[in-house]
């Protein structure tokens, strides 16, 4: 049985799926085919139900929960790992309402968090996450919400942090920030979904046990990234919650969904 697996080319995702996709252990009757896209493209494809197992932003959960089920393993969730709001020049709180803000996709958790904490901002520009830093440097936009490895590179480019959206979330909820999770289509059936969840769990453990082996696979998709930035990315986003959400992880996801339903965040039609 062939199963399509969607994930981003970012180091945490390629690290997680390295062993599963490179036959490092027995996957039984299941064969996995990678679909590697930016997370916002994965979000859009999930809305169309195109991928069997996929990484998704938690901000999209309520729109796909009739079709997809959250797995226990593979999530990006934790403390001090949330999206950052950055700028080229110093911007005060009272100026933000009038600013143009670059976001890495309307369905992303980053957009939800920004909209949640700064609901007065109306001027948003969607762009690929990796283009946001240059958009700020070129003064195409006043502010940008950055995710992934950009949190490790923006200061070297002379950009400034205006707010840490993950920190704001943690202060409000006293819970880790749920960024993205791995979801499986419900029509795969409970038994197959449980097997896939277990195999992703094993893939993560294999990568932890064989990090130098796994990083060579990561490098294939992060060729322009310094190796130390890859490791920083992996250490931040692949953690105990990735191995298993556990009670605290599930509580964080539930609180996120509760608050998301209270906010009128822009949705795609």
Q: What average pLDDT does the chain have?
A: 93
Q: Give the domain CATH number at 139.
A: 3.40.190.10
Last residue of a domain, one of 173, 200, 225: 173
Find where tokens 């097997």 sit: 195
In a domain, 269, yes or no: no
Q: Are residues 67 and 189 in the same domain?
A: yes
Q: Are residues 188 and 244 in the same domain?
A: yes
Q: Quick check: is 148 catalytic?
A: yes
207 assigned to some structural domain:
yes
The residue out of 173, 201, 225 marking a domain boundary is 173
Let me know whether 192 and 249 are in one domain.
yes
- Is residue 149 very low, low, confident or very high in pLDDT (cuts 50, 70, 90)? confident
Q: Which pLDDT value is given to residue 268? A: 32
Higher model confidence: residue 196 or residue 263? 196
Quick: pLDDT tens for 181-209.
999 999 999 999 999 999 999 999 999 99
Measured distance CA(30)–CA(21) in Å, rounded: 11
- For residues 108-118, average pLDDT: 93
Burial 209-230 (b: 16+ CB within 10 A, else e): eeeeebbebbeebbeebeeebb
Q: Both 60 and 100 in a single domain?
A: no
Q: Burial code of 21-38, b = ≥16 C-beta within 10 A, e = fewer?
A: beebeebeeeebeebbbb
Look at residue 236 and tell me if it is in a domain. yes
Q: What is the dihedral of CA 132, 135, 136, 139, to 10 degrees?
A: -160
Shared domain check, 68 and 116: no
Query: Is 230 within a domain?
Result: yes
- Enumerate residues 6+ apart whose C-beta is below 8 A from 165: 82, 83, 84, 85, 110, 113, 114, 117, 145
In a domain, 229, yes or no: yes
| pTM of the complete model | 0.92
Q: Is residue 151 located within the same domain as residue 184?
A: no
Let me know if residue 57 belongs to a domain: yes
Q: Are residues 15 and 52 in the same domain?
A: yes
Q: How many domains does the chain have?
A: 2
pLDDT digits (tens, 9 = 90+) for 53-77: 999 999 999 899 999 999 999 999 9
The residue-averaged pLDDT of 152-172 equals: 93
Q: Are 97 and 160 in a shared domain?
A: yes
Q: With pLDDT > 70 as the criterion, what percentage of the chain qualifies?
A: 97
Task: Tell me which of 150, 173, 196 is where a domain ends.
Answer: 173
Chain-centroid distance of CA 247 in Å reads 20
144 in the same domain as 162 = yes
Q: Which of 23, 94, 107, 148 is catalytic?
A: 148
pLDDT of residue 176: 94
Supply the pLDDT for residue 264: 55
183 and 244 share one domain: yes
Q: How far apart are alpha carbons 45 and 54 in whole angstroms?
A: 9
In terms of residue numbers, what domain contains 23?
Answer: 2-78+177-262
Same domain, 164 and 181: no
Residues 73 and 187 in one domain: yes
Kindly report, residue by residue over 116-133, the tens digit of the pLDDT: 999 989 899 999 988 999
């Amino acid at each position: 049985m062939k199963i399509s697996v969607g994930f981003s080319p970012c180091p945490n995702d390629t690290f997680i799926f390295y062993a599963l996709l490179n036959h490092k252990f027995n996957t039984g009757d299941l064969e996995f085919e990678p679909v590697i896209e930016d997370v916002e493209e994965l979000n859009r494809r999930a809305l169309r139900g195109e991928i069997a197992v996929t990484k998704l932003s938690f901000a999209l959960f309520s729109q796909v929960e009739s079709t997809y089920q959250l797995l226990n393993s593979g999530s990006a969730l934790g403390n001090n790992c949330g999206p950052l709001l950055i700028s080229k020049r110093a911007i005060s709180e009272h100026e933000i309402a009038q600013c143009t803000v670059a976001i890495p996709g309307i369905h992303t958790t980053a957009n939800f968090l920004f909209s949640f904490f700064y609901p007065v901002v109306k001027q948003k520009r969607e762009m690929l996450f990796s283009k946001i830093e240059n958009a700020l440097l070129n003064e195409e936009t006043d502010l940008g919400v950055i995710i992934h490895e950009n949190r490790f590179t923006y200061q070297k480019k002379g950009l400034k942090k205006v707010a840490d959206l993950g920190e704001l979330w943690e202060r409000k909820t006293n819970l880790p920030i749920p960024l993205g999770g791995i979801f499986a289509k419900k029509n795969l059936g409970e038994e197959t979904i449980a097997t896939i969840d277990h195999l992703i769990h094993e893939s993560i453990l294999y990568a932890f046990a064989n990090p130098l082996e796994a990083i060579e696979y990561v490098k294939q998709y992060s060729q322009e990234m310094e190796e130390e930035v890859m490791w920083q990315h992996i250490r931040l986003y692949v953690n105990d919650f990735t191995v298993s959400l556990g009670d605290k992880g599930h509580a964080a996801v539930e609180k996120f969904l509760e608050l998301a339903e209270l906010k009128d965040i822009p949705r795609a039609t």
